[in-house]
Amino acid sequence: MECVVQGIIETQHVEALEILLQGICGVHRDRLRVHEICLKNNPNLGNVASEVRLLCDLELPEPTWTVKHLGGAMRGAGAEQISVLVRSMVESKVSKNALRLFNALGYKLDHELLRVGFAFHFQRGAQITVTVSSVNKMLKLHATDEAVPVTPGIQLVEVTAPASSENYTEVASAVSSFCEYLAPLLHLSKPGVSTGVVPTAAAAAVSLMSDDFPRTQPE
Ligand SMILES: *[C@@H]1O[C@H](CO)[C@@H](O)[C@H](O)[C@H]1NC(C)=O
């Protein structure tokens, strides 16, 4: 399982977010350029609809593919109360001919995306991953060089942490308290709950950027 929250930020404030994240986690960012192929199978008799994503990080020296299946959100009173979505998630490395395999199994291309940005991985009460990326669509099949933004000027921020049925409350509260640090720049909530951009973002970005200013100036 994993705990997840999402939000959006205007591209002009992404640099300030990066400075903030760098300050909080004390690690360097990893660049990200992920080709994502979303596949769906045709539900027919005795077969439920399902969706898998094939992901390839094009930033790695040797492109490796991963298959990811996102399950439904956890339900019940406990899940309603927390501000973080808890869902099942299965991820596995696959060989580069996985697309052919899934096609043979009856999965068809639904859409494909290219996510370009960066990620921070760190430990803060849970193994937290923050990704900040622009989401692009391809004009031609698999043409990652000719991708155009889906929402120009807006980037997607996602915070995830691995969890289990034993520790999800602990992980969810670690994720929530981490999100409070980012509150001046962006609002994070369960995926599907749209919250828009934060009105304080511009002012917060200015102050973050000016705090950083002396370090980038030659002495
Ligand atoms: C919660 O459980 C998951 C899955 O076993 C594990 O990866 C993660 O590190 C655990 N997190 C904490 C904070 O114990």
Please write the tens of the pLDDT for every residue from 144-195: 999 999 999 999 999 999 999 999 999 999 999 999 999 999 999 999 887 7
Give the separation between CA 46 and CA 147, rounded to whole angstroms. 37
| 20 assigned to some structural domain | yes
CA of 167 to the centre of ligand 1 (A): 6
CB-CB contact of 6 with 158 (8 Å): yes
CA atoms lying within 13 Å on the CB side of residue 109: 11
| 218 assigned to some structural domain | no
| 156 assigned to some structural domain | yes
Protein residue whose Cα sits closest to atom 5 of ligand 1: 164
CATH code of the domain containing 46: 2.40.320.10
CB of 205 sitting under 6 A from ligand 1: no
Number of domains in the chain: 1
| 205 assigned to some structural domain | yes
Q: Does residue 219 surpass a pLDDT of 80?
A: no
CA atoms lying within 13 Å on the CB side of residue 45: 0
Give the separation between CA 102 and CA 6, rounded to whole angstroms. 28
| 219 assigned to some structural domain | no
Protein residue whose Cα sits closest to atom 7 of ligand 1: 162
Closest-CA residue to 8 (of 175, 192, 206): 192
AA identity, residue 80 = E
CA of 127 to the centre of ligand 1 (A): 8
Q: Give the domain extent around 82.
A: 2-210
| 115 assigned to some structural domain | yes
Give the separation between CA 93 and CA 37, rounded to whole angstroms. 14
Please write the tens of the pLDDT for every residue from 37-61: 999 987 776 667 788 999 999 998 8
